[in-house]
Structure 1
Amino acid sequence: MQQNNDSLEYTRIRRVAPIAVNTHGGRAKCLQRLVRLDLPVPETVALSFDAVRKLADGHPLDISALLKTFGDAPLLTVRPSSEDPDWGGPGAMLNVGMNDQRHAELTQTLGPDTADALYLRFVQAYAIHIERLDPEEFENDSATPVRLALKSALDAYENETDEPFPQDVETQLIKVLRSMARAWSGTTARLLRQAKGAPADAGLGLIVQAMSFGVGADESGAGVIQLIDEETGAPLIRGRYKRQAIGRSALTDKTDVMYLTHDARGPSLEVDCPALFEQLTTMTQLCRVKLREEMLVEFIIENNKLVILDAVRVQRSSRAALRSAVQLAEDGIIPKSDALLRIPPRSLTELLHPQVDPTAPRVAFAKGIAASPGGAVGRLVFSSAAAQVSEARGEACILVRRETAPEDIRGMHSSVGVLTERGGVTSHAAVIARGMGVPCVVGASMTINSRKKTITGANGQTLNEGDMITLDGSAGEALIGETKMLPPSKDYWYLQLMEWADAIRDIDVRANADTPADAAMARDFKAQGIGLCRTEHMFFEGDRLTVMREMIFAATHEDRQEAISRLLPMQRSDFIELFRIMQGQPVCIRLLDPPLHEFLPSDRAGAKELAEALDLPLSDVTRRIEWLSEFNPMLGMRGVRLGITFPEIYEMQARAIFEATIEASKLGAPVVPEVMIPLVSAMREVELVKTLVDGVAAAVRNEKGAEFTYRLGVMVETPRAALRAHEIAQHAAFLSFGTNDLTQMAYGLSRDDAGRFMNAYVQQGVFPEDPFHTLDVDGVGELLTIGAARGRKASPKIVLSVCGEHGGNPESIAFCRAAGFDYVSCSPFRVPVARLAAAQLVAAEAKATNLSRK
């Protein structure tokens, strides 16, 4: 039956009723599917999104006609039905229609205690959630007899409202419906669901359903059942059942709850009522197959008759969701492409890192921004030196800094987690930690005292160096003490899903890897090569840093050459190992990029230590540091500018690459290295470096008597390089767009400082999203499109890629694929995310095509 005269529309849920998820919500559509499966579902009526909006605005509803659907004197349940169950909604309202007359009738049929309990529960819920009365006025002591508690609640209602509890069913129902409709449109509810990804104008449907009671003379009760473990996804029958229970809410009372399956610890439905148990499990399995999802089924047994009230998707962990999707595909219930589409790419990061057990007790010390996922347990340290000492002792540590700088990289490598007082999701600590796969929390609510080596949380509690904490990078929390952890999971289900993803995706995924350890991780995550090897990270190791500093302080060209000659074998050995690990896959090596001052200490204590190491007066060291310092280092003498000014550095690196190429090629397939010039803005820069690199290559070929090939390319990080890509492409085999720096220069915005105001900007709609987190397809994206088009026009076979942080962002991958890029490159731990995201784009296109043909 459908009502649509002068008042609002409602629809009886029948097999052919016009019910859809986008008009009536997921719950309404699911109930219709249950009806189509011939399952015993109570009489149900659905109100559409549009009807609920109008109801909230005061439009009339023909309650009398609606109630006739349920016969004389019905008792009803009202439930929300949003488009996505994760968006929430107002709580269900049970026993609508209960009044003195129904109470008297139920006293005769169900007994006084049951009737009193039904009435009491409705009075309490109606008073608190519909009339918004003080909850304390309706609390009752569990020791108080139900009859007295009911009388007290009715009296309290009359005292608070100056009128008796409403006895008219129509009055009760319209107030319940209108209250739930208005609750959904309230500011708090809107913000909560938007935080869960719901659009601002998301609609709510309402379900009105005849009540079923799990009470009676014969077998009666209420329960829930599901067919998987919500943490692991393993198949099992899980749930609970309680005899003589009034609605599902009674199941929150764990006393006298029965097991579903046979269990030595107590009675079970399987043993006591085998026929009902078999019928229940058969219906639940039917829901799984026909609804193509693992469902939590809510049921009632009323005098030996089974009733299905509802079925919702099982709430589960990322691990369980992945296994369920793969299992449904392997069972032939859904296609493999659907299994791929059901897994949010970012959820893979939870599987690939150790995680804090969500069921373990936790005491939060500080809260901040979840900058790099995973969990770690370790002792607090306040400096990179202390972190290295801790690692040498075999003790796990968590590095705490006000904010990290390039000189902290060694300490970050020695730590199992990073915690900072300042910063955002694109700050130095966040970016480096994600690249290393180390959990990180930035912008934490704490105060650091570096001198005393203490941190004080927002609650005033203070922790000292050496104290044990747990870092939850997924939740953005630092916890006191050692909390139980869950190991990473790269099991059969993960591997199977990724195999399906790789079979259909049409854009390559490489990894940003700076060390042999990073390369091994990239290989393990099935990266198709290295898209960015930042050679400067190799120089931050202890012995190399000293030599690097000697080179920087060299007074003559000869002294500088001598120091560089000592760096050569170190770089060469690293490159040989990188090539060996990648086994013939492409390796793109970026020549030195950062300004030289980043290799020097930033404080007086560090300067004094360096003066002692170099046997120089402290004043000389201080003056040299000051001379190298720049007002704006990001826009100063770095990248190709450094290579042209000090060509010895790039000469050494090119020689190390080519000598490593020859050696590594002896171990297996020929190596074809990719040499990348950073921070280019003019064609002449490329010509100068290309001449230098080609000369080194010729010299190495002559000295070693060996042939090799290589590819020279450019890292496009400046707007001018993108605009002049047609000139640059004439001298380059590839263009790799470094979107981190390109975004900074396009916006005139420092990535490390943006966190101070970015949240306010996003909230006020200045930016739709942090442009360092999600690629700005309008501005920066246009630079990419222009650069790609002009580069390809000048050199049709040129290879295009993105190698910034955006390379692992699913939304950004969609843009790169549409723009015709050949590959994206991201940190090793984000490689699986990128692989799945790329496959989902293909699967979604295929699904849309199939739907359009039907």
Structure 2
Amino acid sequence: MNASSKFVYLFGSGRTEGSADMKNLLGGKGANLAEMCRLGIAVPSGFTISTEACTEFTQRGRTPVLALIEAQVLHGVAFVEAEMGRKFGDATNPLLLSVRSGARASMPGMMDTILNLGLNDQAVLGLAAKANNERFAWDSYRRFIQMYGDVVMNLKPSSKEEHDPFEVIIDMLKEKRGVQLDTDLDASDLKELVQRFKSLIRARTGHDFPTDPWEQLWGAIWAVFESWNNERAKIYRELNDIPQSWGTAVNVQAMVFGNLGDHSATGVAFSRDAGTGEDLFNGEFLVNAQGEDVVAGVRTPQQVSLLGSRRWAELAQVAEAERARSFPSLEELMPDIYTQLLHFETTLENHFKDMQDIEFTIQEGKLWMLQTRNGKRTGAAMVRIAMEMLQQGMIDEKTALQRVSPDRLNELLHPIFDPKALASAVPIARGLPASPGAASGQIVFFADEAEAWAKKGKAVILVRQETSPEDLRGMSVAKGILTARGGMTSHAAVVARGMGKCCVSGAGAVHVDMKARTMTIGGMDYAEGDWISLNGSTGEVFEGKITTKNAELSGDFGRLMALSDRYKRLEVRTNADTPEEARMAHSFGATGIGLCRTEHMFFEGERIVAVREMILADDESGRRKALAKLLPIQRGDFEGLFAAMSGLPVTIRLLDPPLHEFVPQDDASQRVMAADMHVSLGKIKMRVDELHEFNPMMGHRGCRLGISYPEITEMQARAIFEAGLNMRAKGIDVKAEIMVPLVGTAREFNLQAAVIRRVADAVFAERGEVLPYLLGTMIETPRAALVADSIGKVAEFFSFGTNDLTQMTLGFSRDDAAKFLPDYLKNGVYEQDPFRSIDQTGVGMLVQMAVQKGRSVRPGIEVGVCGEHGGDPASVAFFHRAGLDYVSCSPYRVPIARLAAAQAAIGV
């Protein structure tokens, strides 16, 4: 690219160069600002520096990019000056600017914003005279210095225990003046803050605060570009699968002011409830406030609508009279502005045909729209909004399916508090129901410690005065989030909803002491490590742990699933080893069992003793004696699965893991085993040594065990056939599919198939009846995929074991890859963890090849996948394209896979 390339796009009432379909270039914020201008909505004029400039900046640095964009930025500022009737850098009629980031995917709070840019010691006097409001001007100046010092000059707390150094100065001055709120400080106090802030910056950074507006502007532009690669932005991209290569746009926009007095305000609103999905216009605002005040959680915001205000009062246990007096809604306080805002909201939702998250400022009675975007919402809200918009005729069926992210269905499927346990629980505090759900955990006060505790397997509740983007990683691992400050649009609330995390915000009775690592509620202290429970649907906080129960799926969820089934081609089965798992998966819509891992049954109760007897046996006779004890147990297991599936296919994999997994490896456990089995410790140690393998996952396992010890295969086959006939005698239809694991050659399969068919013939002769069954194999070695045509001549179905196929193809041990995979992902070696989302260009090619080869010799062969990839939406889309018949996944991921299969069919 060169200086003639276009990097800057204007938007305003007189000229708009962007549109909503330019998000890749202008970012979501810039594209939507331009679109609002096109719709005739009042937007402060500005310009957007494209994401391409950010990419150039990341690759080449400041100086080359300055040469590319400098003239275009100068032109952009001149355009805004003409539109707004003010002059950038002027001392008497100054144009002040906001500089904000805006990636193509919404990343709330992840990157940096600077407001009131352009102020210095002369311009602040001009601003005061122009507005006839000295306090407003100096308040704007101190805010600008504080933001710029943080974002551009990198003046931040030196440790997690240290408070924001700017806030420390503010708190000291408030204490000196004997006031509680920032708004209680007068103009002279704010002048003092400005000077003290400048001195702090000079002392901590060694540089003076810049007074030249153009130096300020360029510093802010570079800082926003750099914020694309700050730690919290990287974490957010990692959590939300946003590519690093996208970059961010920079939006430079004329300032409008919500802190000009009681006829000015700033706020955030949603066209529908982001927590429940209800078709209710709602939001929060603050009178005489600016920018980040609403979401920062420092002041308790007021509700936009009267209905929302009444609901908030009920949740916060505030009397109606007190609500009306102290917390009037915008609808009550400024009815004409509210009507105009409602009109804008309706216009935007109808235009974008999705729930909108809007930011607005009211400057002395004039409404300005600062942003609109598709709002973050909970999984439940996502489903309800999609289905209600479908019913309202706003969107069609395919769009409704596209509107729900499959992974977000997880939130609807996991447990909620058991009403019986909840009935006897008394809340110790109440806040706002910022993000629905139920969570119990141990209190942790710092995000990095929440992460450390979670890695140890502990359930944690992150408790903060208010959260900030730096807390993102801790929020992502916490079971729930509790904040003492903040509203429904605070950082904690918005991010928690985006993550599907339970969150209670603005619990005013909670007093957090970060240094002491305690929270106090009504005189009762709760220390780090104490257990609490949160109900994010009601805003209640409870002491201790509360038991949970399975969630009850809503009618909207059922309608979404029915719609998914109407469009999907892939069937969705489940991986289930017990009747309980099978029944749960069936209730979630599974159309069969795609993988029953029989070895999981061997570890329960007394079964492990019989398994160990088999392993310790000196000959075939001894092994058959032990296996005879396992036969009735296995038969009962299979009966339960056939009953739970009642006519749906049940795919049973024969014993797969190496035998060393069934014997203890440490000396103490071996002594216990010796005593339990009445054999010498020496015999156990000798057998453990014999079973030892350097690479057991590629050793004596799967069909190799069955070939060495065919009596194991015999026992399992007999258990399957007898169980099937027993269930059919009870009137239950049985569809049995027997799967031979880890084959690499047709001969391996044939050796095991001969054993199974011999047992089948014997059982059928004994019982005088026949049970139809399919006999197939897992394709989990690269060789099996390469010779799938020869295997397909003898196997009646294929099921891809993509866990093993991935590790054998890539040469990665899935148990050890965590040591280096983060570095691979960071450096772009792989875009996704290949054990989470299938490597489509490598492992995927083997899958496609095996499908083609198998069907070349057996056109009707049934082909599925039973590895963990079967529940990953991106992998499901690939399996759809590859022509598979079904995917199989864990019970809780069945609805996710059903929706993903529908989206794949309609081409999402």
2:443 and 2:530 in contact (8 A); partners too:
no
1:215 and 1:303 in contact (8 A); partners too:
no
Deviates more, 1:95-104 or 1:571-580: 95-104
For 1:207, which of 251, 259, 263 is the aligned residue?
251
For 1:175, which of 207, 218, 233 is the aligned residue?
218
1:149 and 2:190 aligned: yes
2:441 and 2:533 in contact (8 A); partners too:
no
User: CA 1:99 to 1:202, structure 2 compared with 1: closer, same or farther past 3 Å?
Assistant: farther
Question: Could you tell me which residue of structure 2 aligns to residue 324 of structure 1?
Answer: 385
**Residue 834 (structure 1) shift:** 1.8
**Residue 580 (structure 1) shift:** 0.9
| CA offsets 1:746-787 (integer angstroms, 9 cap, x no match) | 344432222233333443455454432332333333332332
2:262 and 2:287 in contact (8 A); partners too:
no
| CA offsets 1:807-826 (integer angstroms, 9 cap, x no match) | 22223223322222211222
| SS of equivalent to 2:252 | strand
Q: Give unpaired runs (5+ residues) of structure 1.
A: 378-416, 418-438, 440-458, 460-466, 473-480, 846-854
**Residue 507 (structure 1) shift:** 1.3
Question: Could you tell me which residue of structure 2 aligns to residue 462 of structure 1?
Answer: none
User: CA 1:173 to 1:713, structure 2 compared with 1: closer, same or farther past 3 Å?
Assistant: same
The one-letter code matched in structure 1 to 2:733 is P
Q: How far apart are the structure 1 equivalents of 2:385 and 2:646?
A: 35
For 1:69, which of 83, 87, 101 is the aligned residue?
83
Q: How far apart are the structure 2 equivalents of 1:610 and 1:220?
A: 77
Question: Could you tell me which residue of structure 2 aligns to residue 822 of structure 1?
Answer: 885
Percent sequence identity is 35
Over the aligned positions, Cα root-mean-square deviation in angstroms equals 3.9
**Residue 693 (structure 1) shift:** 1.7
User: CA 1:470 to 1:741, structure 2 compared with 1: closer, same or farther past 3 Å?
Assistant: farther
Q: How far apart are the structure 1 equivalents of 2:710 and 2:97?
A: 82
Q: How far apart are the structure 1 equivalents of 2:883 and 2:123?
A: 72
Question: Could you tell me which residue of structure 2 aligns to residue 367 of structure 1?
Answer: 451
1:25-424 correspondence to structure 2 within 5 Å: 25-50=27-52, 56=62, 57-59=65-67, 60-61=70-71, 62=74, 65-66=78-79, 67-72=81-86, 73=93, 74-86=95-107, 88-94=110-116, 96=118, 100=122, 103-104=125-126, 106-107=128-129, 109-130=131-152, 136=165, 139-140=169-170, 141-142=173-174, 143=177, 145-150=186-191, 153-154=194-195, 157=198, 160=202, 171=214, 174-175=217-218, 178-180=221-223, 182-184=225-227, 191=234, 194-195=237-238, 196-214=240-258, 219-247=263-291, 249=293, 252=296, 257-260=301-304, 261=306, 263=310, 264=320, 265-267=322-324, 268=328, 269-354=330-415, 357=439, 362-363=444-445, 367=451
1:256-655 correspondence to structure 2 within 5 Å: 257-260=301-304, 261=306, 263=310, 264=320, 265-267=322-324, 268=328, 269-354=330-415, 357=439, 362-363=444-445, 367=451, 482=544, 489=551, 490-655=553-718
Q: How far apart are the structure 2 equivalents of 1:534 and 1:38?
A: 61
Question: Could you tell me which residue of structure 2 aligns to residue 451 of structure 1?
Answer: none
Q: How far apart are the structure 1 equivalents of 2:715 and 2:791?
A: 24
Deviates more, 1:77-86 or 1:311-320: 311-320
2:115 and 2:291 in contact (8 A); partners too:
no
1:289 and 1:333 in contact (8 A); partners too:
yes
1:17 and 2:17 aligned: yes
| SS of equivalent to 1:806 | helix
Question: Could you tell me which residue of structure 1 aligns to residue 182 of structure 2?
Answer: none
Question: Could you tell me which residue of structure 1 aligns to residue 537 of structure 2?
Answer: none
**Residue 588 (structure 1) shift:** 0.8
Q: How far apart are the structure 2 equivalents of 1:534 and 1:758?
A: 27
**Residue 530 (structure 1) shift:** 0.8
2:293 and 2:299 in contact (8 A); partners too:
no
**Count of equivalent residues:** 748
| Alignment TM-score, normalising by the size of structure 1 | 0.78
The one-letter code matched in structure 2 to 1:700 is V
Q: How far apart are the structure 1 equivalents of 2:637 and 2:151?
A: 66
The one-letter code matched in structure 1 to 2:753 is K
Q: How far apart are the structure 1 equivalents of 2:344 and 2:458?
A: 39
| CA offsets 1:28-74 (integer angstroms, 9 cap, x no match) | 22223323433333334333334667795223232563323322333
Q: How far apart are the structure 1 equivalents of 2:331 and 2:442?
A: 31
Q: How far apart are the structure 2 equivalents of 1:729 and 1:10?
A: 59
The one-letter code matched in structure 2 to 1:330 is Q
| CA offsets 1:792-817 (integer angstroms, 9 cap, x no match) | 21222211222212222223223322
For 2:787, which of 714, 724, 734 is the aligned residue?
724
| SS of equivalent to 1:536 | helix
1:554 and 1:560 in contact (8 A); partners too:
yes
| CA offsets 1:822-850 (integer angstroms, 9 cap, x no match) | 112222222222222222222335xxxxx
2:118 and 2:216 in contact (8 A); partners too:
yes
User: CA 1:720 to 1:312, structure 2 compared with 1: closer, same or farther past 3 Å?
Assistant: closer
2:533 and 2:546 in contact (8 A); partners too:
no
1:657-736 correspondence to structure 2 within 5 Å: 657-668=720-731, 670-736=733-799
The one-letter code matched in structure 1 to 2:862 is V
**Residue 529 (structure 1) shift:** 0.7
**Residue 695 (structure 1) shift:** 1.9
Q: How far apart are the structure 2 equivalents of 1:632 and 1:215?
A: 68
| SS of equivalent to 2:776 | strand
| Alignment TM-score, normalising by the size of structure 2 | 0.74
The one-letter code matched in structure 2 to 1:322 is V
Q: How far apart are the structure 2 equivalents of 1:641 and 1:7?
A: 64
1:11 and 1:47 in contact (8 A); partners too:
no
1:220 and 1:243 in contact (8 A); partners too:
yes
The one-letter code matched in structure 1 to 2:188 is R
Q: How far apart are the structure 2 equivalents of 1:257 and 1:625?
A: 66
The one-letter code matched in structure 2 to 1:535 is T
**Residue 600 (structure 1) shift:** 2.3
1:259 and 1:266 in contact (8 A); partners too:
no
**Residue 256 (structure 1) shift:** 7.8
The one-letter code matched in structure 1 to 2:697 is M
User: CA 1:703 to 1:369, structure 2 compared with 1: closer, same or farther past 3 Å?
Assistant: farther
Question: Could you tell me which residue of structure 1 aligns to residue 520 of structure 2?
Answer: none
Q: How far apart are the structure 2 equivalents of 1:763 and 1:239?
A: 38
Q: How far apart are the structure 1 equivalents of 2:143 and 2:154?
A: 15
| CA offsets 1:368-421 (integer angstroms, 9 cap, x no match) | 6989999699xxxxxxxxxxxxxxxxxxxxxxxxxxxxxxxxxxxxxxx9xxxx
Question: Could you tell me which residue of structure 2 aligns to residue 404 of structure 1?
Answer: none
| SS of equivalent to 1:532 | strand
1:353 and 1:374 in contact (8 A); partners too:
no
| SS of equivalent to 2:373 | strand
The one-letter code matched in structure 1 to 2:107 is D
Deviates more, 1:328-337 or 1:648-657: 328-337
1:154 and 1:164 in contact (8 A); partners too:
no
| SS of equivalent to 1:577 | helix
Q: How far apart are the structure 2 equivalents of 1:283 and 1:33?
A: 13
1:234 and 1:320 in contact (8 A); partners too:
yes
| SS of equivalent to 2:735 | coil
